[in-house]
Amino acid sequence: MKYMTPEWANAFCAALNNNPEYAKVSSTWEGDFLFICDMGDDKFFMYIDLWHGNCRGVEEADENKEAEFKIEGTYETYVKIAKKELDPIRALMEGELMLDGDMSKIMRATKAALELVNTITLVEGVEF
């Protein structure tokens, strides 16, 4: 399955719900995200609802979807993060990802953010 597609998003949500380490480090996290991936000719919008260590749902969305956090970047940046070639917090700090939301809340949950990224590697059959 191709990375940053609806099929991948559903598999990612399932992987989060089956990852005990993510459940542990994000047990106090409450927040939803709209990930905006610039694919060049098009954009992929993935809404994900995260609540106390669980993914309560994921859906393909559009730019009008309300979310506590909106994170936008290029497909290339998201691939680097998925392959652990780029730290997501560093990407935010250096402007490779653009954030609309409370950065201090994310900084208080860096372990949860990192395990969120680690979970990408648990999704089988991903093509970049």
- Give the homologous superfamily in CATH for domain 6-119: SCP2 sterol-binding domain (3.30.1050.10)
pLDDT of residue 121: 85
**What is the rounded distance in angstroms from the CA atom of residue 107 to the CA atom of residue 15?**
23
pLDDT of residue 65: 97
Q: What single letter denotes the amino acid at residue 36?
A: I
In a structure prediction context, what are the per-residue pLDDT tens digits for the chain, which is 128 residues long?
Answer: 999 999 999 999 999 999 999 999 999 999 999 999 999 999 999 999 999 999 999 999 999 999 999 999 999 999 999 999 999 889 999 999 999 999 999 889 989 988 998 899 889 899 99
Judge contact between 36 and 70, C-beta under 8 A.
yes
Give counts: helices (H), strands (E), the chain. 6, 5
Strand order in 43-51's β-sheet? 54-60, 43-51, 30-38, 69-74, 98-100
Q: Which of 34, 27, 75 is nearest to 58 (CA)?
A: 34
**What is the rounded distance in angstroms from the CA atom of residue 45 to the CA atom of residue 35?**
6
Q: State pTM to two decimals.
A: 0.92
**What is the rounded distance in angstroms from the CA atom of residue 120 to the CA atom of residue 39?**
18
**Domain coordinates of the chain in residue numbers?**
6-119
pLDDT of residue 54: 96
76 CA to centre of own chain: 14
pLDDT of residue 123: 93
